A and B are shown apart, each in its own frame.
Chain A
């Protein structure tokens, strides 16, 4: 489904991705791990089209469609969802309104009918429950004044509503206590299915106890230096990244 070939990217003068090759098939969960500065978050950003990165080589396709040629909103409409490491606050914009506008933009692009307020509310309320989110959150401004945990749950809620083909989780575990982590992981697991894939970017193995990956890739210096099964994560937890990168880096 997602095919990344020789992807290279830089920020200003700094080369960050040095040729990434990665294929994710439908229904698979892949984890990207790596030390700080290895390019994990950059990969997530580049896939979703965040401005500020220059693609210097390679290709990315989603179901054969050239992803890199699309605007960020068209990638989103094509089914790429990025759960932000730092979800952005938008003061004054009601959470429900935002989500409805997003969902209808996605539906419209697929030629589906837009949902009216009543139908939407029903839909979103149903998605709230498993995330243990309070309905009052819908009436608040997007992420404004949300705690770290609330922000991350809100990201998963959005993902549940938008039902993407590919969910990219960018350090979703950062800043979460164990209870919130479980709720978020349960939310993600509930969305796993044979037509939906995930790319889980994380520094720690902890999250992978709850979202069990099919494959684990280790990213260092902008390249995938090792690929393995879920047990690779455990090995990393134990040994750190140093044994792979040849440096003394502790996870």
Chain B
């Protein structure tokens, strides 16, 4: 990177290495690369799935074959050879409980800082960890079980609660929703499942960690979360991947269902490997996340901190069906070096008195390109709907980009819809002010950027907020020198 003449101190080469870039050496039981009906049958067979699920996968596959890669996002990458991806890779040991989990895997989690076992107890977090494509273990199952909360791997839910799977799978994100969702529906290997029964406030944060490990492996997890009437749950999702030269594919689907009076808080800290400073390697993150506020007075809140991935294509959305339902989207997206992110949300107002809030903070550094893309749609029946959207972009360095693409569709005059966006450079006067009080330039930048993201961090559970702040400073290290 070359320095701008007027501010010679800005931009030095990033020296911070990707902290989570290690490879766990365990034997994988993998399918050969490529995608066809046989592979899908193989996955389904491996997982001993009921017929309805296999049929559903095959339907999705047939649909996927007819679909085209979406090209409207502001992200650019060479075409992906879907026949060169491995669609199934399971750790061979075949874990059934934590005790049986390959110690290597556990060590990996330890390195990741995943709170398992004692650490889990201390942190009061129940964790479902998806390692490559198989869920390795769920803690706190018993305690949750007593309250009727089901929290397990998706595969387990398929066997133990097939009726819930059959009822809800694809009910928010249909198998033919979009290219990546269809691909996921055809080949998803595991993920998390969660059901909170009527009136239960889940007493602890539920948490899933996703990690891609084997080379050339795609990760296609699927999360399904149902909050029954008046239930409450706060759910955390973390992601990491090892450093690899090739790009790796991640296409997840998350479906949330909130019934009458239920509330779901879904928080993500996404820290997949972003690639090196020249754009080599990194994760392609094509994710479909959607929540349905089915019942009256239900609420779904998405909070995301996106610092990783070479490419992020992700629009966690809310369908506000129930009257008085509430949708929220709080996002921090950071791109540095060659990263590209096209992320935002869709708020579809169908019910009366529905309310949505969107707060998006985009930070672009290096040669990164950051796009907020959002849709707010007020349908004719949505009387007195409200939306407020605030999108702010911060630019660091003159090689990056920040883009805002909102779509506002109002079909009911009782709606109140407001959108505000601003883009500016990180304030030189703010940096100087901090320096004049004795802070180093790097600390000043961290302080200002954290302040910029405050509204979003505030929405994260405590321990996640701390992690998010750390990630932010690591991601931006070297962007202002």
**Are A and B direct contacts in the complex by CB distance below 8 Å?**
yes
Q: A91-B452, A101-B447 are known contacts. Are A77 and B438 too (CB-CB below 8 A)?
A: yes
Chain A, interface size category, equals 20 to 34
Q: A88-B430, A90-B430, A141-B451 are known contacts. Are A72 and B435 too (CB-CB below 8 A)?
A: yes
A205 at the interface (CB under 8 A from B): no
B437 surroundings in chain A (CB, below 8 A): 76, 98-99, 102, 105, 158, 162
A52 to chain B, nearest CB (A): 8
Nearest neighbor of A83 in chain B, beta-carbon distance = B436
Are B433 and A109 within 8 A (Cβ)? no
B451 surroundings in chain A (CB, below 8 A): 90-93, 141-142
B205 at the interface (CB under 8 A from A): no
Are B436 and A82 within 8 A (Cβ)? yes
A142 CA to B436 CA in the complex, in Å? 14
Nearest neighbor of B432 in chain A, beta-carbon distance = A50
Per-residue CB contact flags for chain B residues 440-481 toward chain A (1 = under 8 Å, else 0) read: 110100011011111100000000000000000000000000
A87 at the interface (CB under 8 A from B): yes
B439 at the interface (CB under 8 A from A): yes
A90 CA to B427 CA in the complex, in Å? 9
Are A72 and B450 within 8 A (Cβ)? no
Are B452 and A73 within 8 A (Cβ)? no
A106 at the interface (CB under 8 A from B): yes
B429 at the interface (CB under 8 A from A): yes
How many residue pairs link A and B with beta carbons under 8 A? The number is 80
A51 surroundings in chain B (CB, below 8 A): 7, 428, 432
Pick from B433, B440, B441, B443: contact of A90, CB under 8 Å: B433
B59 to chain A, nearest CB (A): 48
Are A73 and B430 within 8 A (Cβ)? no
A48 at the interface (CB under 8 A from B): yes
Q: A51-B7, A91-B452, A92-B454 are known contacts. Are A73 and B447 too (CB-CB below 8 A)?
A: no
Are A92 and B452 within 8 A (Cβ)? yes
Pick from B429, B440, B443, B453: contact of A88, CB under 8 Å: B429
B454 surroundings in chain A (CB, below 8 A): 91-93
Give me 26 A-to-B residue pairs in the complex whose CB atoms sit less than 8 angstroms apart, sorted by A's number.
Answer: A49-B435, A50-B436, A72-B432, A72-B436, A73-B441, A75-B436, A76-B435, A76-B436, A77-B438, A84-B433, A87-B433, A89-B430, A90-B433, A91-B452, A92-B450, A92-B451, A92-B452, A93-B447, A93-B451, A99-B437, A102-B437, A105-B439, A106-B438, A109-B438, A158-B437, A162-B438
Q: List residues of B whose CB falls within 8 A of some A CB.
A: 7, 427-430, 432-441, 443, 447-448, 450-455
The 10 closest A-B pairs by CB, nearest first: A92-B451, A92-B454, A93-B451, A72-B435, A102-B437, A88-B433, A76-B438, A105-B438, A106-B438, A73-B435
